[in-house]
Structure 1
């Protein structure tokens, strides 16, 4: 397809997209959904702009047709004075027309989505100044000399964040207890097909449901909402635990499926039972990776517990969620919000560093430095040896 035909196809495609989006604004779906109507209008306007841009580009390309024909004629008649052979000619640069059109189409969809959600360009332009103002207020709240009110904010933030860490720890323990047997049952090299397929399906269902849905739809109605003494912390812990089972079991099953088959064959040849084979041939290989996966899930659960707290499942989220939290008050108390965010970030970083150290220790082992030899010893100093 020549370049002119590609430009024509781009114009026609953009016109069709613009016309289809314009017609969709008069359908019953657009009448029932304001978001869909705005999205179609934004899509139509963006596609129209693309039509105009590609059409202008096409006109400019047509304007050079005469010069291109003359240049080709000079080349064919040999008037250039030098006719390169095949070895001297440069390779033809591949056309990126459809690649560029795909990028433009992604941009058109972005504009349509922004119009559908009601995004305002003025608010986007004002955002840096507002962000600077709010950041200065939050830093002032953290750096101020703590008075009685500030000490209360620090105390509330630490108590709620420790509650979030406890919720995440309980959820991780619940997930770890059930994920190892579920992961073994979901490993193709460990279980027959009659068990493997149902277990995989169950774990897929668990992973498909976010922990927020588990908390709001199941555990908060059963156990209560609010801080720990009202049952919200237990609801958040169980929601994180059930969600952790699906994710951890999948990762553990994949780790088990990737073990070295040599110990498995040796255990079968020696007459070991299935349980003995798992205990002595599988677990020693995957246990360091399993422990690392559990610790990483603990880090994820700390962040998730803050989100669940905003829904009434206990933890630090209840301090900032409306209507009774910091973001439920007008005007916002940015100094208290800064203290709360600082506590969240600080404790999360500390937990991440500790978890990362433990993971490294579990996976790579401990590095033990040998004692220095005497000066008169001719042997070179021995480097650190991993154990």
Structure 2
């Protein structure tokens, strides 16, 4: 067997070095070693190149302190704008093109609510200062319009395609579902590298009106006065000798309200009596009557949803409008379980509310929510 040559690379003699090189050229084993060395060097250069590229890429993705501070400032100002301004134009959510995904570039969305004067002459009349923004309250209708047109309204119109963002509301009432929209919910907000460090999250606690603007009467909105509530309306049962008197006694009290319904309104609205699930424990009774169809018979109030449309349609068949009275008799020791509202819902919304399981008492009250805005640079 052929022995391998021992080579001393420390010898400085030029002749010896020349002989060593010549031996390497002639020696197949030496050629093998030099080929392995060359391959190792190539692999090392390749690996160093990859590491260098990854390092450069990561350096580009990590925001500088100045950039991060700027993003934080923009996020806070954007959140404050959305919550405290109705948008431009103020009634932008009423643009019918939004229902078809057609968004004007002139719309800058906002979620704040302004008091408005309402005189529809259909089922109720209400007026208030139409100049003042309702503080710390956002519009559910505007929120849904943004959700359905998020990319155009927020990414393009508000941010000019410079940011990725998402909006969410998380109701404190767990009977109401959260609403999420934008990047980060249907896909990874950070992207494939999950750059959570480059994301700003702004959180505010505000009220959302949900469907409260469709409430004709909130029967819990009364002022208790000693053993009774402070009446601001006359009950027809107290003045008609043929009807049972509705004066409260030591155990129960009567809550009585009057309202007008126009026949035309039945073509546009659906009327419901909605109660919290606790109504089944309240031991309450109710009466619905018109001036021409009075009633002494109390019915147990134990349903969360009562459709009033059949009653109104029958009663208004030969009349253009009618004044109705609704009466509730509730034990004073169960008053906290009595939570009921009368609502008038636009007919084009009713089926959607039923399908989404939103025809519920809680959705027709303003509710506290956590409002979250997430932002990052594109």
Q: TM-score range by the shorter chain?
A: under 0.3
Structure number with higher relative contact order (C-alpha < 8 Å, ≥ 6 residues apart):
2
TM-score (norm 2): 0.25
Query: Which of the two has greater helix per residue?
Result: 1
TM-score (norm 1): 0.25
